[in-house]
Amino acid sequence: MNGEFDETLRLVEPGSRLNLVDVAVVGDALLPHYLVLEPDYLVDVSALAECVQEYGAGWQRYFWNRIRPKAVTDSILLGNSVNLMFDELVTADDCHAVTFESLMPKLFARYPIEFAAASSIDRSFFQTLRRQFDTLQYLMETLLPARAIDRRRAMVEPSFVCEALGLQGRLDFLQREGGLCGIELKAGRPPFPEENLTKIAPSHRVQSLLYQLMMQSVLGVRLDEQRFYLLYARSRYSDGLLRPVKSEPGELRAILNLRNQIVAAERDVARYGAPQAEWLMGQLSAENLIPCPSRFTDRYIRPEILQGRARLERRADNLLALNYFYRFYAFVAREHYLSKVGYASGSGISGAASLWRMSRSEKVQEGYMFTGLRLVRNDVAAETPEVEFALAGERLLPDFREGDIVLFYRCDSEDDRVSTSQIFKATVATLTPDRIVLRLRDSQLYAGALPPDSLYAVEHDYVDASFATQYRGLYTLLGASPHRRGLLTGEADEQPRRNELRRLTYDYDNSHLSRILTKAVQADDYFLLVGPPGTGKTSMALRHMVREFMAIPGCQILLMAYTNRAVDEICDKLDSIDEVDDYMRVGQSLSCDAAYRPHLLSERMKSCRNREEVIRAIGECRIFVATLASLSGKNELFTLKRFDVAIVDEASQILEPQLVGVLSALTPTGRDAIGKFILIGDHKQLPAIVVESPDESAIADARLRAAGFTDCRVSLFERLYRSLPEDSPFADMLDCQWRMHPDIASFANRYFYRGLLHNGTARHQVSPLPFTRHGDDEWEQLVATRRMAFLPTVRVCAGKKYNDEEARKVAEIVQALYRLYRLNGLTFDRGSVGIITPYRHQIARIRQELDRAHVAAFDEIRIDTVERFQGSQSDCIVYSFSVNGERQLEWLPSYTEEAGQLIDRKLNVALTRARCQLFVLGNESLLSRNPIYRQLVEFLEQAKE
């Protein structure tokens, strides 16, 4: 065996997956050129390359870079800016027409917060940037043609997934026609001495070498047939701009060994938990991170490491915080590991590894893939790059939605798959029964990269960004102010505070609402608000909270939610508040409803001509709105603004590691970046999505349990809420629901909310059913006269995720409802009926039954899982259980418990989507084996009496 892999072999355990790459057969022996441990765990090429520095190589740097705070420096911003200019010049039809001045608004729109936050930026920064722009134009006009590189036939930011090597990455520039040629751009200075025009920095060299190895594996182009260059755009010498990169024997094996050590460390933390996480953090020492110290590292590198490591040293005042850090780090690491290598689910293999471990037929069957797509529109060169595909074959119902992040690639044969193709990253812009429109991340001048006579496939993309912010957020918590850190980790000596002298600015007729708003205003640290279904947590509570805080002179407000749909709803309410004259939204245009896109930060910055205008615009706006994910990647905002209050909607769907980093942020002066936070949620509705089982996520640490921790899956909202007494001044509950008719609300109120909910007096809540006319058809009579009903069905084979009888009966109900609407002169639209069912296969069968009716209005009917329905409502809800075996009863519910009462959060959400009518279908004998479902069946049966 190759000696370079001795360390890897010591890390191999029973059950380990190994890829033997480029194998030679010598007698009875297999001699691989490369050995890849756990290849399903894809390591990013850029992150791996950073492990190799002038002062030595070490796998530990991968984890150091993961947790250390992301600082906005002029060097990083220069690099981002130069990359944007490079892409604009490569993809321009006429690069002569591109001017430095024309690119400045685009830079400000792409990196507004970064430009405003980087305090070291001055006139010299823009002078340097201008010189690099001139250099890039010279490159396009002179150097590339001289080396037979045609930018018009090249692609920018091409992406690759290489399961064989356990790597993934995105190049800066790739030309495939006329011989493969790749370019990796670097905006910083070339390595010292600059006069050495062939010298390449170690990390840059490693990055290029790994890309070459991936091109050989994925595209089948041998290393000696490739041309790769490092582009040092800041080189003072034109001959030193493009520097060729060629690999040396054994060099790539040593790099892959580093990758294997990283993956082994990830695997062990995921397997052994907090003790292993603490061991891993112990490896991040100056000695391991700087194998070859020098005067340079002693002056610039070592002090930063020592300062960063100080947070990880145990002291009397941080023992609970460190236990918290290690337990939740291990929790996130396991979730991350499973999301990459895959895990068994009801639909086969889930996670990123499903891209190559599931067959094409399996993926199509489970709805994970569109295949056989034909290109009908190719606008990749447009300012807004898009492609449009015609969907093939019969009407399919894959698991895709508008706004989903996807990847697509040429797929002309069975051998074409993600790991053997160049992939394009995109977002689903439009999805109809026969068309899908994808918006690419980057414009491409070379439209020929997508031949019109090829077939294409679309699959879900799996991104690591959310995990990266969780790791960094946990580390940020360790550096929070002592009081904030103590509140978040449950320190007994740190309790929430309030100022009872504060009073509301406005008068309210509703005493209950007035009490809630008073608590929110008086709280100094945090306030928790439970918002049961239909109680108006956004339309009432959040809206009036914003009014009250806006009445405080100079009060800065941050509004966040977990989903873009909830952020859209917040924007809708802001537009209805007279006191709000402006707000900015952080996010992407496709994730934002068109009505609110003018408020996007990127749109607002397009009119800024210089950095001062950017800073002024951000500083003058008092309200910022974002999803938590969008804001977690923009922590630089806290160097520009301190928010007096942050209101977080959907807080019960957010895991602690996803939120604590934002709540722990500090301003440059060391103050809490968020003065107080208000969490709005409902722990009796859907929780955060977690892969680990309850046994795996349980918290056993004695110190943490004494502080109130039980399970890593519990949200910060729920943990804090349960820690407070019932009449706490720091928590309350909205108690009047305005969505459901009282008959429908009574089940959830009785079994989930202990009878604490009251009913509003909205028109549909106090009116009879509107169907005064109906025919003799039994389905019309049922729908016209019954507000609620249970319809028993016969189960099919155990374990099947569909029930044709239920699908037919659902279609009968919908058709009867449609006839009744027409007969009574009512408008049947998208909000008239919604259909909920646990399985995609049942969704498909219901859709097929509705299609047989040939009613155009049925195309608009929403048929989805309960997870997709949270936050929505319909006049009539039809719920098809489609349960055919006892094992399905085990995983279908999502349980929590309060005051000795067992609560099914999924069922709570499903039933409370209905405004006027509710019809439930299922096998009575099976459902009755679950105590809550038995109560539901009995409740619905009694409703007809």
Give per-residue pLDDT as tens, 871-926: 889 999 999 999 988 888 888 999 999 888 899 999 999 999 999 999 999 999 99
* Dihedral (CA of 286, 291, 297, 301) sign: negative
pLDDT at 383: 87
Q: How much of the chain exceeds pLDDT 90, in percent?
A: 79
CA-angle at 227, arms to 225 and 233, nearest 5°: 175
pLDDT at 728: 97
Q: What CA–CA distance (Å, rounded) separates 474 from 274?
A: 13
What is the CATH topology of the domain spanning 149-247? Lambda Exonuclease; Chain A (3.90.320)
Judged on CB neighbours under 10 Å (0-12, 13-18, 19+), 26 is exposed
Nearest Cα to Cα of residue 509 among 732, 764, 736: 736
- Domain boundaries of the chain, sorted by first residue: 3-67+255-313, 149-247, 353-460, 481-583+622-730, 742-943
Q: How far is CA 776 from CA 716, 773, 779, 780, 782, in A?
A: 54, 10, 9, 7, 10
Q: What CA–CA distance (Å, rounded) separates 379 from 439?
A: 9
The DSSP annotation for 432-487 comes to: -SSEEEEEESS--S-GGGS-TTSEEEEEE----HHHHHHHHHHHHHHTS-HHHHHH
Q: What CA–CA distance (Å, rounded) separates 232 from 187?
A: 6
Q: Find the helix or strand (DSSP H, E) in which 33 lies.
A: strand 29-37
pLDDT at 349: 66
Kindly report the backbone phi and psi dihedral angles of residue 823, in degrees, each rounded to the nearest multiple of 5, phi listed first: -65, -30
Nearest Cα to Cα of residue 729 among 497, 382, 907: 497
Residues 201-236: tens digit of each pLDDT: 999 999 999 999 999 999 999 999 999 999 999 999
Nearest Cα to Cα of residue 712 among 350, 438, 356, 324: 324
Task: Give the tokens for residue 672.
Answer: 């809490």
* DSSP assignment letter at 5: G
Residue pointed to by tokens 């009872």: 500
Judged on CB neighbours under 10 Å (0-12, 13-18, 19+), 178 is exposed
Residue 178's pLDDT band (cuts 50, 70, 90): confident
Tell me whether strands 455-460 and 227-232 are parallel, antiparallel or unpaired. Answer: unpaired
**Residue 132 CB partners (closer than 8 Å, separation 6+):** 78, 82, 85, 187, 233, 234
Residue 605's pLDDT band (cuts 50, 70, 90): confident
| CA 537 to centroid of chain Cα atoms | 24
pLDDT at 277: 98
Q: What CA–CA distance (Å, rounded) separates 233 from 87?
A: 13
Question: At what angle are helices 482-489 and 656-664 packed, to 10 degrees?
Answer: 160
Q: In what order do the strands lie in the sheet with 242-244?
A: 154-156, 173-175, 181-186, 227-232, 242-244
pLDDT of 1 higher than 60: no
Nearest Cα to Cα of residue 592 among 574, 570, 559, 614: 570
- Strand, coil or helix: what is 844? helix
CATH number of 481-583+622-730: 3.40.50.300
pLDDT of 175 higher than 70: yes
Residue 695's pLDDT band (cuts 50, 70, 90): very high
Q: What is the mean pLDDT of the chain?
A: 93
pLDDT at 644: 98
pLDDT at 365: 79
Nearest Cα to Cα of residue 771 among 858, 680, 874, 875: 875
pLDDT of 347 higher than 70: no
pLDDT at 182: 97
pLDDT at 346: 53
pLDDT at 783: 97
pLDDT of 72 higher than 70: yes
pLDDT at 362: 85
On the CB side of 617, CA atoms within 13 Å amount to 25
On whether the 353-460 domain is CATH 3.40.50.1000, my answer is no
pLDDT of 799 higher than 70: no
Nearest Cα to Cα of residue 629 among 586, 594, 599: 586
On the CB side of 434, CA atoms within 13 Å amount to 1
Residue 12's pLDDT band (cuts 50, 70, 90): very high
Task: Give the tokens for residue 342.
Answer: 């895959």
Please give the average per-residue pLDDT across 456-481, as a whole number: 93
Nearest Cα to Cα of residue 7 among 35, 44, 30: 35
Are 468 and 65 in contact by the 8 Å Cβ rule? The answer is no
Residues 348-381: tens digit of each pLDDT: 567 889 899 888 888 887 788 899 999 999 999 9
pLDDT at 348: 56
* DSSP assignment letter at 537: I
- Identical fold for domains 481-583+622-730 and 742-943, yes or no, is yes
Please list the residues that pair with 557 across neighbouring strands. Answer: 623, 645
Residues 643-688: tens digit of each pLDDT: 999 999 999 999 999 999 999 999 999 999 999 999 999 999 999 9
* DSSP assignment letter at 301: I
The DSSP annotation for 703-724 comes to: HHHHTT--BTTSBHHHHHHHHS
Please give the average per-residue pLDDT across 126-147, as a whole number: 95
Are 562 and 653 in contact by the 8 Å Cβ rule? The answer is yes
Q: Which long-range contacts (CB under 8 A, 24 or more apart) does 845-852 make?
A: 845/802, 845/803, 845/804, 845/807, 846/807, 846/810, 846/811, 846/880, 847/395, 847/397, 848/395, 848/807, 849/807, 849/808, 849/810, 849/811, 850/811, 850/814, 851/395, 852/811
Query: What is the maximum alpha-carbon separation in the chain?
Result: 93
Q: What CA–CA distance (Å, rounded) separates 9 from 28?
A: 20
Question: At what angle are helices 319-341 and 465-478 packed, to 10 degrees?
Answer: 170
**Residue 302 CB partners (closer than 8 Å, separation 6+):** 286, 290, 293
pLDDT at 584: 96
Residue pointed to by tokens 């938590």: 628
Residue 222 backbone zone (phi > 0: left; psi -120 to 50: alpha; other: beta): beta
For domain 742-943, the CATH architecture is 3-Layer(aba) Sandwich (3.40)
Task: Give start and end residues of each alpha helix (H) in 594-683.
Answer: 601-604, 611-620, 628-632, 637-640, 656-664
Least confident of 218-222, 323-327, 487-491, 611-615: 611-615
Q: What CA–CA distance (Å, rounded) separates 103 from 126?
A: 12
Kindly report the backbone phi and psi dihedral angles of residue 511, in degrees, each rounded to the nearest multiple of 5, phi listed first: -65, -30
pLDDT at 506: 96
Query: pTM of the prediction?
Result: 0.95
Q: What CA–CA distance (Å, rounded) separates 189 from 96?
A: 25
Are 420 and 218 in contact by the 8 Å Cβ rule? The answer is yes
Q: What CA–CA distance (Å, rounded) separates 503 from 583?
A: 25
